[in-house]
Amino acid sequence: MQEREETRRIQFTGKSSYIVSLPKQWVLELGLKQGDQITITREGKSALKLLPAKEQTRSSQLEEAVLEITHEDDSAAIVRRLVSLYFLGYKTIQIKPKAERLQPNQRNAIKSAVKGMLMGAEIISDSVDGMTIQVLVNLLELSVDGAFKRMLHLAKSMLKDALLAVKESNLDLARGVIDSDDEVDRFGFYIIRQLKIAIQNEHMLRDMGFTNARQCLGYRLIVKNIERTGDHAVLIAKDLLEFEKSVREEAMGKIEELNDFATSVLDQSCLALFKEDFTQAEHAIRRSAEISKYEKRILESIKSIKDEEEVYRIRRMLENITRIAEYASDIAEIVLNMNIEKILKKPKM
């Protein structure tokens, strides 16, 4: 098969037209012939996409999805389907009842999902006969890196606030942590959508700052670890709502030290991601092993505690925060995999 990339010179013809010839082999492989139409689309800041008209018709069908639901479909199932279509990159999603009307609980679930989970999505039509959702966000307005940094900041803030809530027995702050988890998920869903679009379009891939599709897979795994970080903050907050009281100050102090260390390793792993720094990723992995020192201090401090309920709660917080260091190590390993080729010695010519 002919190479995917060729250099062709732009030529000027007539009084107002520029032309570029297409490689003959490409035309033959695509089944095109003289007289067939080609659609030219500008993508991003510096790319043009050439698409045969028959392919353009097929592609335009991906702009809009129609989701038919029945009276019996539960709200959670409808939301899952809606999120899946959002991930696939559809710009417009129509939700229609197969028969009768949309039920009030179905409409409310869709509205909550669009508002709380799908970044850039708006409901532009809403009635018992159907709803239309349009994704209005410009792909380049919020970069993947930008969304990831905001997601990371939110997850770390949730951890800090969850521990503060336990320390102060602040139930309102704990509820706020739980509510913030939806915002972390919104950034996560947005990033997954962007990665899906990037994988399907090599020009958009470059505009988003990726050099190959493998990087998108690595980013997807990293995003999942940040989502889980937020989930552990929620578990700590729910613990307070369940028991409605703090634990002793000495133990909380050591747990906060553990959290400071775990989040510092998480920061280092993510910085290695942004800098594409193999060496810093290795350092983060080595540092993550030091979490055992903090664990031992906490476990030693609870030996003298007679209240079994309090010991149980401290152990649960310890487990939740220890997992953050594990996620940081996982992220660093992914960064290593994404950048391993940079340390390879180039063969002599």
Mean pLDDT score of the chain, rounded to an integer?
88
Question: 2: pLDDT confidence band, cut at 50, 70 and 90?
Answer: very low
pLDDT at 32: 79
For residue 311, is pLDDT > 80? yes
Q: Give the burial string for 161-170 (b: 16+ CB within 10 Å, else e).
A: bbbebbbeeb
Residues 52-69 have a mean pLDDT of 66
Choose among 142, 237, 243, 257: nearest CA to 191: 142
3-state secondary structure 2-14: CCCCCCCCCEEEC
Q: Exposed, middle or buried: residue 227 (CB in 10 Å: 0-12, 13-18, 19+)?
A: buried
Which has more confidence, 58 or 338? 338
- Helical segments of the chain, H only: 24-29, 53-60, 75-88, 104-116, 144-168, 171-200, 202-207, 213-243, 249-275, 278-288, 291-301, 308-339
- pLDDT tens digits for range 17-55: 788 888 887 777 777 778 788 877 776 556 777 777 655
pLDDT at 243: 96
DSSP of 274-309: HHT-HHHHHHHHHHHTTHHHHHHHHHHHTTT---HH
Q: Between vectors from CA 150 to CA 139 and to CA 271, what angle results, nearest 5°?
A: 105
- pLDDT tens digits for range 250-291: 999 999 999 999 999 999 999 999 999 999 999 999 999 999
Identify the weakest region by mean pLDDT among 225-229, 299-303, 341-345: 341-345
Question: 1: pLDDT confidence band, cut at 50, 70 and 90?
Answer: very low
Which has more confidence, 194 or 173? 173
Q: Is 42 helix (H, G, I), strand (E, B) or coil?
A: strand
Which stretch of DSSP H or E encloses residue 18?
strand 17-19
Tokens representing 251 are 């133990």
User: Locate tokens 């939301």: which residue?
Assistant: 79
pLDDT at 43: 64
pLDDT at 141: 65
Question: 56: pLDDT confidence band, cut at 50, 70 and 90?
Answer: very low
Report yes or no: 85 and 65 within 8 Å, Cβ to Cβ.
yes
The length of the chain is 349
Report yes or no: 276 and 320 within 8 Å, Cβ to Cβ.
no
Choose among 152, 295, 305: nearest CA to 227: 152
Choose among 282, 262, 266: nearest CA to 335: 282
Report yes or no: 327 and 155 within 8 Å, Cβ to Cβ.
no
pLDDT at 171: 97
Tokens representing 18 are 């520029």
Q: Any residues with CB less than 8 A from the CB of 66 and at least 6 apart, and which?
A: 93, 94, 96
pLDDT at 329: 97
Q: Any residues with CB less than 8 A from the CB of 6 and at least 6 apart, and which?
A: 23
pLDDT at 143: 85
pLDDT at 284: 96
pLDDT at 83: 94
For residue 63, is pLDDT > 90? no
Question: 178: pLDDT confidence band, cut at 50, 70 and 90?
Answer: very high
**Which amino acid is residue 187, in one-letter code?**
F
Q: Give the burial string for 171-193 (b: 16+ CB within 10 Å, else e).
A: eebbeebbebbebbbbbbbbbbb
Q: Could you give the domains of the chain?
A: 11-56 (no CATH), 61-135 (3.30.110.10), 144-340 (1.20.58.220)
Phi-psi label, residue 120: left if phi above 0, alpha if psi -120 to 50, beta otherwise: left
- pLDDT tens digits for range 110-155: 999 999 899 989 999 998 899 999 987 655 567 888 899 999 999 9
Residues 200-217 have a mean pLDDT of 79
